[in-house]
């Protein structure tokens, strides 16, 4: 059976390891040892080198019966994360001390998987062929998975443990996300003596942003400008201005079309005032939708019902490593894995939810037919 005390201790140990994005070395070393002790062969790639990090993605494989399954989680944690300490309250709720995030995102999933594997090993129960991907830099728009060599993967089905919400919830649809940076170039001049000689980069940016669609654009697309920075002093017509934004859509084609419109607006406003723009985009990940009759969906539903949980399938407007898995032909879901109020110092989990997550995972791992 799943051992609650051991599971809780495992979770607390995991969150105590500092693992900021691109600084996952200690976490990678710890997880490698745990996986090897459970019979996995483990490889580490050089993903960290791509981003100035100190650790690569971990890929683990263990032979078994039946259809192979890929489990995916990420090692990194959002800030503030240094010196995290889990506090287990009398009612089973687990929080940080309030000065950092807890790190349940994504260590609740990792703890549940490790406990399920340990339980199955102790009971000598047969398991299916398993692959596990622990990625780096997921919180930086799935950067680790972006450079992973997916030719290693045997599985065609996946379960990503990386979502908040009630246990039994799973996402089967997620959007494309495109980040963009616009650098506007004008011409500096003295704002008092010769403002007419300048080309006001911030004004160009302001005019463009005022013309842009913002917020929810239609039913399935959003656009946001998150940061504008420019100028040197109040008496100088600003020569440069930088605008950072993003857009998301359940339709990748709509996302690309919206991006094209935004680029056109900035270029038009720059030309009107005699400036220029450099437009750079980063397609962080592409939209996917997993069919309700897909194997991963069916197996998750069955595991939930066996453990007394009602399965619920929905869409999410957040991305995960599943976006990248889907791009490479690996069909899957993102399951709620005992994390709440993530990306805040109010993040929490509970022993009951950790246990239930481990039970669901255990059932899925035993599906050898």
Residue 322: per-residue pLDDT: 98
Q: Indicate the pTM of the whole model.
A: 0.93
Report how far apart, in Å, the C-alpha atoms of 350 and of each of 4, 61, 147 are: 11, 29, 34
* Stretch 97-119: mean pLDDT: 98
What is the pairing mode between strands 240-249 and 215-216? unpaired
pLDDT tens digits for range 14-31: 999 999 999 999 999 999
Catalytic site residue from 24, 45, 131, 138? 138
212/206 Cα distance (integer angstroms)? 10
pLDDT value, residue 105: 97
Q: Which 3 state secondary structure label does DSSP give 151?
A: helix
Residue 138 appears among annotated catalytic residues: yes
For 169-219, the pLDDT digits (tens) are 999 999 999 999 999 999 999 999 999 999 999 999 999 999 999 999 988
CA dihedral 142, 148, 153, 157 (to 10 degrees): 10
Q: What average pLDDT does the structure give for the chain? A: 97
Which residues, in sequence order, are CB contacts of 337 under 8 Å at separation 6+? Answer: 106, 108, 109, 112, 161, 162, 163, 357
Catalytic residue among 24, 45, 76, 239: 76
Cα 249 to Cα 103, 256, 314, distances in angstroms: 28, 9, 16
Other beta carbons within 10 angstroms of residue 126's beta carbon come to 11
Q: Which of 369, 336, 364 is nearest to 350 (CA)?
A: 336
Whether 76 is catalytic is yes
Q: How does residue 76 score in pLDDT terms, banded at 50, 70 and 90?
A: very high
State whether the Cα torsion 180-185-191-196 is positive or negative: negative
């Amino acid at each position: 059976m799943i051992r609650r005390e051991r599971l809780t201790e495992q979770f607390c140990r995991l969150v105590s390891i500092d693992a900021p994005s691109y600084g996952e070395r200690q976490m990678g070393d710890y997880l490698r040892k745990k996986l090897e002790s459970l019979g996995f062969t483990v490889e580490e790639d050089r993903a960290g080198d791509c981003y100035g990090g100190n650790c690569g993605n971990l890929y683990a494989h263990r032979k078994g019966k039946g259809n192979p399954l890929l489990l995916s989680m990420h090692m990194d944690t959002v800030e503030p994360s240094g010196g995290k300490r889990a506090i287990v309250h009398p009612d089973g709720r687990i929080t940080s001390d309030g000065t950092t995030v807890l790190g349940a995102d994504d260590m609740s999933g990792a703890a549940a998987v490790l406990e399920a594997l340990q339980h199955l090993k102790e009971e000598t129960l047969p398991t299916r062929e398993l692959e596990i991907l622990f990625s780096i830099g997921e919180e930086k728009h799935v950067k680790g998975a972006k450079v992973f060599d997916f030719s290693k993967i045997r599985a065609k089905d996946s379960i990503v443990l990386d979502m908040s919400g009630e246990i039994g919830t799973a996402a089967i649809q997620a959007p494309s996300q495109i980040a963009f940076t616009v650098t506007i170039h004008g011409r500096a001049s003295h704002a008092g003596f010769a403002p007419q000689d300048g080309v006001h980069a911030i004004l160009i940016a302001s005019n463009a942003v005022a013309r842009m669609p913002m917020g929810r654009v239609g039913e399935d697309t959003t656009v946001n400008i998150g940061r504008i920075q420019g100028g040197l002093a109040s008496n100088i017509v600003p020569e440069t201005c930088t605008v950072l934004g993003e857009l998301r859509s359940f339709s990748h084609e709509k996302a690309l079309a919206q991006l094209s419109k935004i680029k056109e607006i900035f270029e038009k406003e720059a030309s009107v005032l005699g400036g220029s723009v450099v437009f750079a985009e980063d397609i962080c990940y592409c939209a996917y939708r997993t069919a309700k009759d897909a194997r991963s969906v069916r197996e998750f539903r069955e595991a939930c019902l066996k453990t007394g949980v009602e399965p619920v399938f929905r869409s999410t407007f957040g991305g995960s490593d599943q976006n990248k898995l889907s791009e490479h032909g690996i069909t899957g879901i993102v399951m709620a894995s005992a994390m709440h109020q993530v990306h805040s110092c109010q993040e929490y989990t509970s022993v009951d939810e950790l246990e239930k997550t481990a039970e669901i995972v255990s059932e899925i791992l035993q599906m050898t037919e």
